[in-house]
């Protein structure tokens, strides 16, 4: 009985912490220790969210479209780059350092340039998202390709397999978990990159909404949209986990097996 | 296949010979052991015969055909089962057929027939991690057999198993071999295993590794548990130990 109780506590401990912070925040705000115009209370934030719900949804649709397009293209690009680099070692040697270099340039710094070059439409936003999302995918896959057991590859070669067969039967499937780890990062990047690109110009999107409420000092709405964005990221990451479980049944069953043993 | 011959094989690495002037042959349906301590070059020879490594000198012939440095003619199996964790057992086992260009469903049909014979029935749709070590080695052996039903090279296939499972696997192996008559070259450092399983034993020793002696185990098969404690078993073992030490 006591053990069961402890395991429940263990499971919901993180929720308890979050809940405690929210209560503390509400008290600080409601008693006026922190002035309301600087920090709205959680209740205010929820009210703002409900009040602006239709508008938020409309903007979210734009942001999600951008994120989705950018993520799709970024994933395909990352995949292609990883495969090419794996197939041609010379490509790996020559392009890999450049690829790492592109990632040291802060997103916020290239976003205005992209707007100048490509205007206020969808294009600069999607481009920025592609630039930020392809990297984790490419790195993840490359890592996966390189850590494949050489004995397995030898075995397949001894069976007379060609490079394509080695790729489809060994390299790709054994890199899937690396791929999904990369995708999880890319998914959250895609939303963040979409919002950042919208700050700099555009007519719709959560980033645009954010800029507007900031200019009108509506802190409650500001917080509402921030939480909304992280909620979207969380849900998308959960989606990736579900996708992974569906695509890699052996991995999931391994986990349940382990749980049963414990 | 009638005969696998390796003639005068020498392999060097960074100027020093690892194995020197090794000649062995394997006749149809035979189980032949290559016995020696770790590091004597058993696996190097193995890689030469499987075609993964080109020897400095010597040739490998299968039925009179030169297969030196050509992979895909003889199948092999290692100590680690190398079953792909992401494939079910039946897909793992039928992999050689798929590689050869067979359709997946057809390959499964062909493979499924052997599951009973190899004591694997019921594991078709399971993943490797759900099987015990012994069962995984059975699956790996079936895959090896489907890769080539002519000749198989087994590199310490049972050495990762505990000694009881190992004995069970020996009996199982001799049982299966009686039916499928797969010519087998088995590499091991376990003297008991060599005596129990083989028709002939090549004892390897020295640096660079050479064949010291060919020991013929003239005993009926399958050999039961009593053979392991019999007078003649001890005699073979004493003789082999005297060569090795």
Task: Determine phi and psi for B32, rounding to 5 degrees.
Answer: -120, 135
Separation of alpha carbons B231 and B219, rounded Å: 12
Q: What pLDDT score does A161 carry?
A: 86
> What value does the mean pLDDT take over residues A81-93?
91
Residue A235's pLDDT band, with cuts at 50, 70 and 90, is very high
Q: Which residues in chain B (91-120) have CB-CB distances under 8 A to chain A?
A: 95-96, 98-100
Q: Find which of A155, A156, A176 to mutate to test the B interface (most B CBs within 10 Å of its CB).
A: A155
Task: Determine phi and psi for B33, rounding to 5 degrees.
Answer: -105, 145
Q: Quick check: A151 and B71 CB within 8 A?
A: no
Q: What pLDDT score does A9 carry?
A: 78
Per-residue pLDDT at A257 exceeds 60: no
Looking at the partner chain, which of A159, A173, A174 has a beta carbon nearest the beta carbon of B72? A159
> What value does the mean pLDDT take over residues A194-222?
89
SS3 of A37, please? coil
- Sort out which chain B residues have CB atoms less than 8 A from A169's CB and list them: 84, 95, 98-99
Separation of alpha carbons A185 and A193, rounded Å: 12
- Sort out which chain A residues have CB atoms less than 8 A from B71's CB and list them: 157-158, 160
Q: What pLDDT score does B76 carry?
A: 84
Q: Quick check: B80 and A250 CB within 8 A?
A: no
B43 to A53, A255, B155, B207: CA distances (angstroms): 69, 35, 7, 14
Q: Which chain B residue has the Cα nearest residue A167?
A: B99
Per-residue pLDDT at B18 exceeds 50: yes
Per-residue pLDDT at A180 exceeds 90: yes
Q: Quick check: B82 and A155 CB within 8 A?
A: yes
Q: Quick check: A152 and B82 CB within 8 A?
A: yes
- Listed residue (B68, B57, B82) closest to B5, CA to CA: B68
pLDDT in tens, A2-17: 777 777 777 788 889 9
The number of beta carbons lying within 10 Å of the beta carbon of residue A220 is: 22
Tell me the domains of chain B and their CATH numbers.
Answer: 3-74+150-244 (3.40.50.300), 81-147 (no CATH)
Residue A1's pLDDT band, with cuts at 50, 70 and 90, is low
Separation of alpha carbons B159 and B144, rounded Å: 17
Per-residue pLDDT at A260 exceeds 60: no
Q: Quick check: A159 and B147 CB within 8 A?
A: yes
**In b/e form, how buried is each residue of B44-63, taking b as 16+ CB within 10 angstroms?**
bbbbbbbbbbebeebebebe
Percentage of chain B with pLDDT > 70? Answer: 99
- Sort out which chain B residues have CB atoms less than 8 A from A156's CB and list them: 95, 99
Per-residue pLDDT at B141 exceeds 60: yes
Separation of alpha carbons B92 and B85, rounded Å: 9
Rounded to a whole number of angstroms, the distance from the CA of A149 to the nearest CA of chain B is: 9
Q: What pLDDT score does B90 carry?
A: 92
Q: What pLDDT score does B102 carry?
A: 87
Q: A58 is written with which tokens?
A: 């409309």
- Sort out which chain B residues have CB atoms less than 8 A from A250's CB and list them: 85-86, 127, 129
pLDDT in tens, A109-118: 888 888 889 8
Residue A259's pLDDT band, with cuts at 50, 70 and 90, is low
Q: Quick check: B130 and A149 CB within 8 A?
A: no
Looking at the partner chain, which of A161, A169, A250 has a beta carbon nearest the beta carbon of B85? A250
CB B94 within 8 A of CB A219: no
Separation of alpha carbons A151 and A174, rounded Å: 14
Residue A144's pLDDT band, with cuts at 50, 70 and 90, is very high
Q: B125 is written with which tokens?
A: 């749709």
- Sort out which chain A residues have CB atoms less than 8 A from B100's CB and list them: 159-160
User: Which range is least confidently modeled, A56-65, A121-130, B116-125?
Assistant: B116-125
A210 to A119, A203, A231, B7, B111: CA distances (angstroms): 20, 12, 15, 79, 61
Task: Note whether B235 contacts A: Cβ–Cβ < 8 A.
Answer: no
What DSSP assignment string belongs to chain B? --EEEEEEEEEEETTEEEEEEEEEEEETT-EEEEE--TTSSHHHHHHHHHTSS--SEEEEEETTEE-TT-TTSSEEE-SS----TTS-HHHHHTHHHHHTT--HHHHHHHHHTHHHHTT-TT-TTS-GGGS-HHHHHHHHHHHHHHH-SSEEEEESTTTTS-HHHHHHHHHHHHHHHHHH--EEEEEES-HHHHHHH-SEEEEEETTTBEEEEEEE----SS--GGGGGSHHHHHHHHHHHHHH-
Q: Which chain B residue has the Cα nearest residue A257?
A: B130
Q: Quick check: B50 and A158 CB within 8 A?
A: yes
Per-residue pLDDT at A258 exceeds 90: no
Q: Quick check: B86 and A176 CB within 8 A?
A: yes
Q: What pLDDT score does A193 carry?
A: 92
Percentage of chain B with pLDDT > 90? Answer: 9
- Sort out which chain A residues have CB atoms less than 8 A from B82's CB and list them: 149, 151-152, 155
> What value does the mean pLDDT take over residues A64-81?
95
Residue A262's pLDDT band, with cuts at 50, 70 and 90, is very low
Residue A69's pLDDT band, with cuts at 50, 70 and 90, is very high
Of residues B232 and A173, more confidence is placed in A173
Q: How many CB pairs under 8 A join A and B?
A: 61
| Cα B11 from chain centroid (whole Å) | 21
Q: What pLDDT score does B67 carry?
A: 85
- Which residues, at least 6 apart from A10, have a Cβ–Cβ distance to it below 8 Å? none
Residue A256's pLDDT band, with cuts at 50, 70 and 90, is low
Per-residue pLDDT at A213 exceeds 70: yes
Rounded to a whole number of angstroms, the distance from the CA of A234 to the nearest CA of chain B is: 28
User: Which range is least confidently modeled, A87-91, A140-144, A233-237, B211-215?
Assistant: B211-215
Residue B177's pLDDT band, with cuts at 50, 70 and 90, is confident
Q: What pLDDT score does A224 carry?
A: 92
Per-residue pLDDT at B181 exceeds 90: no
CATH superfamily of A49-250: MetI-like (1.10.3720.10)
- Sort out which chain A residues have CB atoms less than 8 A from B85's CB and list them: 174, 250, 254
Q: Quick check: A169 and B95 CB within 8 A?
A: yes
Strand partners, B76: B153
- Sort out which chain A residues have CB atoms less than 8 A from B95's CB and list them: 156, 159, 169
Percentage of chain A with pLDDT > 90? Answer: 51
Residue B171's pLDDT band, with cuts at 50, 70 and 90, is confident
SS3 of A99, please? helix
Q: Quick check: B86 and A152 CB within 8 A?
A: no
Residue A253's pLDDT band, with cuts at 50, 70 and 90, is low
């Amino acid at each position: 009985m006591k053990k069961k109780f402890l395991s429940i506590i263990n499971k919901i401990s993180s929720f308890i912490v979050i809940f405690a912070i929210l209560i503390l925040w509400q008290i600080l705000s409601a008693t006026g220790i922190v002035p309301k115009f600087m920090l709205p209370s959680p209740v205010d934030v929820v009210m703002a969210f409900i009040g602006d719900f239709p508008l938020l949804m409309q903007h979210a649709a734009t942001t999600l479209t951008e994120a989705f397009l950018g993520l799709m293209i970024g994933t395909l690009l990352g995949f292609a780059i990883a495969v090419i680099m794996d197939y041609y070692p010379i490509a790996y040697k020559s392009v890999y350092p450049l690829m790492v270099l592109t990632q040291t340039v802060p997103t916020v710094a290239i976003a205005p340039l992209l707007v100048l070059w490509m205007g206020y439409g969808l294009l600069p936003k999607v481009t920025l998202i592609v630039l930020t999302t392809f990297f984790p995918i490419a790195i993840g896959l490359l890592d996966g390709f390189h850590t494949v057991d050489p004995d397995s590859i030898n075995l397949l070669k001894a069976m007379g397999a060609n490079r394509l067969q080695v790729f489809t039967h060994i390299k790709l499937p054994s890199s899937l978990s690396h791929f999904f780890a990369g995708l999880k990062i890319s998914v959250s990047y895609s939303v963040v990159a979409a919002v950042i690109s919208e700050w700099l110009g555009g007519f719709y999107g959560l980033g645009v909404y954010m800029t507007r409420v900031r200019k009108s000092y509506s802190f409650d709405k500001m917080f509402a949209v921030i939480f909304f964005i992280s909620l979207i990221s969380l849900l998308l990451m959960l989606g990736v986990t579900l996708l992974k479980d569906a695509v890699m049944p052996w991995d999931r069953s391994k986990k349940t097996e382990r749980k049963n043993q414990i | 296949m009638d005969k696998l011959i390796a003639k005068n094989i020498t392999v060097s690495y960074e100027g020093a010979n690892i194995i020197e002037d090794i000649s062995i042959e394997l006749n149809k349906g035979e189980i032949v052991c290559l016995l020696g301590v770790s590091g004597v070059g058993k696996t190097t020879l193995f890689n030469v015969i499987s075609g993964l490594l080109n020897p400095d000198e010597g040739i490998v012939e299968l039925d009179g055909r030169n297969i030196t440095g050509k992979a895909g003619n003889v199948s092999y199996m290692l100590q680690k089962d190398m079953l792909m964790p992401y494939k079910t057992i039946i897909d793992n086992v039928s992999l050689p057929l798929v590689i050869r260009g067979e359709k997946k469903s057809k390959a499964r049909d062909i493979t499924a027939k052997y599951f009973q014979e190899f004591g694997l029935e019921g594991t078709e749709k399971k993943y490797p991690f759900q099987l015990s070590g012994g069962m995984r080695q059975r699956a790996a052996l079936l895959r090896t057999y489907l890769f080539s039903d002519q000749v198989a090279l087994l590199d310490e296939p049972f050495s990762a198993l505990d000694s009881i499972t190992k004995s069970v696997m020996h009996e199982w192996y001799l049982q299966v071999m009686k039916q499928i008559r797969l010519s087998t070259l088995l590499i091991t450092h376990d003297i008991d295993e060599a005596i129990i399983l083989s028709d002939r034993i090549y004892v390897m020793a020295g640096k660079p590794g050479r064949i010291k002696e060919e020991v013929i185990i003239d005993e009926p098969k399958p050999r039961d548990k009593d053979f392991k404690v019999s007078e003649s078993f001890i005699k073979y073992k004493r003789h082999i130990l005297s060569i090795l030490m």
